[in-house]
Chain A
Amino acid sequence: MGFLLETVIGGLMSGMLYALVALGFVLIFKASGVFNFAQGAMVLIAALAMARLSGWIDAWLGGASPVLANLLAFVLAALFMWLIAVLVERLVLRHLVNQEATTLLMATIGISYFLDGIGQILFGSSVYSIDVGMPKDPVIILDTVFDGGVLVSLEDLTAAVIAAVLVAVLAFFFQYTTVGRALRAVADDHQAAQSVGIPLNRIWVVVWTVAGLVALVTGIVWGSKFGVQFTLSTAALRALPVVILGGLTSVPGAIVGGLIIGVGEKLSEVYLGPFVGGGIEIWFAYVLSLVFLLFRPQGLFGEKIIDRV
């Protein structure tokens, strides 16, 4: 029982991180109808920027204040993500307005190749570490209730809390600010939004910047856990089933989907994995979301797809 609970808690916490990446997808899809395959590459480049910049600034400050170095690096990395957002909007999206979803999808795959390449040229391609002072030691809770207690990794817990806070902030941003309202308007209907004077291009920059910031936070959390390296860009692939499970257009869907996939993956790996040889996490998430989709083709919370001839 204790072990089951441990697995579920572990799943919920990694699910929060999936939700974070999925959020990046959903934001961009809602506002611009682009299925952003480059989210993983953005996570990688953001993490690389953060890792290297904090290292350089720390060296420049002479190692006096690692906290300050991390803060400065975070700000610079955020600016960098903003720059990427502006460039993507200016150089790519603006020219591909009204193209089919497939074409836009391919364009983002092109962007992800580009970002992978340029990120590693600018910041190097070895394994780097990010140290933002996340606690490393696991703690044991509930040892009075169960025999041996439940082992919880504080690092995962911090990550989950960060993710939850970010999700809350984004929900607030979407619901109560002017920009957020404009974003929702664009998401509902591009043409109507434009006709009441909402500048589409600027909205896209905002959305890509927000997605970039989400990528930055994801990159920091995952990077400090696993090290910053090329495999970070596969983070997006882990989050794709989350996105379609929750529904491409739904922010709550991304969160619930993330939790379902997180728990499902961990449970399947622990209880099903040993029988079939292990390593089933990656495809189990996809199959799980596929089964869900067979019953609800638009995902759990996605907008209902209505066909008209």
Chain B
Amino acid sequence: MFYRENGQFKSTYRSDQQIFPIRQDRWFISALLLLAFVGVPLGASDYFLQAIFIPFLILALAAIGLNILVGYCGQISIGSGAFMAVGAYAAWNFGVRLDLPLVAQILMGGVFATLTGVVFGVPSLRIRGLYLAVTTLAAQFFMDWAFLRIPYFTNYSSSGNVSVPTLDVFGLPVVTPAQKYLFVLCFVAIIGLLSKNLVRGAIGRQWMAIRDMDVAAAVIGIRPVYAKLTAFAVSSFIIGVAGALWAYIHLGSWEPLAFDLNRSLQLLFIIIIGGLGSIIGSFFGAAFMVLVPVLLTNVPHWLGLDIPVDVASHIEHMVFGFLIVFFLIVEPHGLARLWSIAKEKLRIWPFPH
């Protein structure tokens, strides 16, 4: 009833190719951005900002990166945690050794993750499918090992643990949860917009052609080398930036364990549950991933049950595994598909067809 495109005529190509061709969508997104930039930092408590919103945004950013590689270009990667680690440690080293400004540190983290990503992307030119998925684990284990055993990367810190000093960007402090949240949000908004445009453009179409069938794509003149390596590069850049943010903003001080295989699997879950090949799906998946553990920890508490901590963590594991399987069975295309079905229905509501 309210969600109609009647009367919205497109008279130029430009207006036909907008990200959000429907006016109601544009209003909705503007309202959402307004809420995110103004409402949340004013309204949410520090706990909510720190435990939910900041991890949600950073994971969503990393998931966008992984989605470009897995969802758009079809190259399964179980090693994304490694690229987060590269981003985090590279950024930290640039901060410690060269004293670059904060934003430059984080971007340099992304650049180094890109380089690593391209190196580990080279095998994808020969190896495909599940074989490739397993070889990406090489990146994961190699990086885990490198940051643990090569003392140069942690600036010879004796415990292997590194931490960041007080953060400030162009003289503005990034200390309180609200400031941190806004800082992260800026990154997410800009990179989200850029990647949405990338996947809509020529390069995005090349990625999708490679995903659907790389031989056929090569036949019609898409260079697999170029398409696959750019996907690895862009994806690793975003994941690297997310890793730097995760380390700097969310953790503050960290060790290589923060970016182990579980992190990679978590990102993979996010994009599968959210929806492969969908930017908005990355946000849904990240929200799911952040909220479910919070709920699982709190539900027994609200119900007044008294469960020992270790049993609770096992139950959390179980429920989590169950939910993943359940979601895969109910909607293999992820939450993004549910979202688009809902939108379709809303368009013709109250009629069934």
Contacts and interface: CB of A to CB of B under 8 A. Distances in A.
Contacts of A289: 134-135, 138
Contact of B317 (A102, A113, A282, A287): A113
A293 B324 contact: no
Interface string A57-101: 000000000000000000000000000000000011001100111
A26 to B, nearest CB: 12
A191 to B, nearest CB: 21
B74 to A, nearest CB: 9
A241 B145 contact: no
A283 B272 contact: no
B310 A125 contact: yes
B130 interface: yes
Interface stretch (A114-122, A130-138, A160-168): A114-122
Interface of A: 35, 91-92, 95-96, 99-103, 105-107, 109-118, 120-121, 125, 237, 240-241, 243-244, 248, 276-280, 282-283, 286-287, 289-290, 293-294, 297-299, 305, 307-309
B127 A109 contact: no
Contact of A92 (B137, B214, B265, B325): B325
B134 A240 contact: yes
Nearest to A122: B314
A282 B123 contact: no
Top 8 nearest A-B pairs by Cβ distance? A113-B321, A114-B321, A117-B318, A117-B317, A110-B324, A286-B138, A283-B141, A110-B325
B324 A106 contact: yes
Contact of A290 (B123, B216, B265): B123
Nearest to B74: A102
A211 to B, nearest CB: 17
Contacts of A110: 320-325, 328
A120 B315 CA distance: 9
B216 A309 contact: yes
Given A277-B149, A279-B149, A309-B219, A293 B315 contact: no
Contact of A115 (B131, B145, B216, B321): B321
B329 A96 contact: yes
Contacts of B268: 106, 109
Contact of B135 (A95, A121, A286): A286
A238 B276 CA distance: 28
B135 A290 contact: yes
A309 B319 CA distance: 42
Contacts of B129: 101
A107 to B, nearest CB: 5
B331 to A, nearest CB: 11
Interface string B134-150: 11011001101100111
Interface of B: 70, 76, 123, 126-131, 133-135, 137-138, 141-142, 144-145, 148-150, 213-216, 219, 261, 265, 268-269, 272, 276, 310-311, 314-325, 328-329, 332
Contacts, number: 144
Contacts of A91: 325
Mostly, the B contact residues are helix
Most buried by B among A113, A287, A294, A298: A113
Contacts of B135: 244, 286, 289-290, 293
B146 to A, nearest CB: 9
A309 B317 CA distance: 42
Contacts of B323: 110
12 contacts: A101-B129, A105-B76, A107-B324, A107-B325, A109-B324, A114-B325, A241-B134, A283-B138, A287-B142, A290-B138, A293-B127, A307-B214
Contacts of A276: 149
Which among B70, B126, B133, B328 has the greatest number of chain A C-beta atoms within 10 A? B328
Given A283-B138, A294-B126, A248 B322 contact: no
Contacts of B321: 110-117
Contacts of B133: 35, 105
A237 B261 contact: yes
Nearest to B151: A277
B328 A107 contact: yes
A280 B148 CA distance: 11
A108 to B, nearest CB: 9
Nearest to A240: B134
A46 to B, nearest CB: 17
Contacts of A125: 310, 314
A105 B329 contact: no
A95 B145 CA distance: 39
A111 B324 CA distance: 9
A102 B271 CA distance: 11
